[in-house]
Amino acid sequence: MRGMGNMQNMMKQMQKMQKKMAEAQEELGEKEIEGTAGGGMVTVIVSGHKQVLDVKINEEVVDPEDIDMLQDLVLAATNDALKKADELTNSTMGQFTKGMNLPGMF
């Protein structure tokens, strides 16, 4: 019956880890990550769950003759913010999968 005790212990450990993972995931959603482009002319803020929360555009960069540049800056700032959100997610959630071989987990 010794194996059953080990199994129960392992299940308790998994439940603890699941709870901590859920808490970490919730905390990620509360984080605000900023991406910028054009030397700060465009700023995009996303949550740790990769939802765009805010877009700030410096009026100096708004040129009706060059909408393409503005669109490129918004795109670059958004991609910068999302990349940072991915990095934060990987570093936060990666602590739970260290040493485990779980492809595609995070």
The Cα 36–Cα 79 span in angstroms is: 9
The verdict on residue 104 lying in a domain is no
The verdict on residue 22 lying in a domain is no
Determine the structural domain holding residue 47 and report its residue range.
Answer: 32-97
The verdict on residue 23 lying in a domain is no
The Cα 4–Cα 1 span in angstroms is: 5
The verdict on residue 71 lying in a domain is yes
Chain mean pLDDT for the chain: 88
The length of the chain, given as a count of residues = 106
The verdict on residue 16 lying in a domain is no
The verdict on residue 14 lying in a domain is no
- Mind listing the pLDDT tens digit for each residue in 18-53? 898 899 889 988 999 999 999 999 999 999 999 999
pLDDT score of 104 more than 70:
no
pLDDT score of 58 more than 70:
yes
Q: Which residues of 43-71 are buried (b: 16+ CB within 10 A; e: fewer)?
A: bbbbbbeeeeeeeebeeebeeeeeeeebe
Question: For the chain, what is the domain count?
Answer: 1
What CATH code is carried by the domain that includes residue 78? Answer: 3.30.1310.10
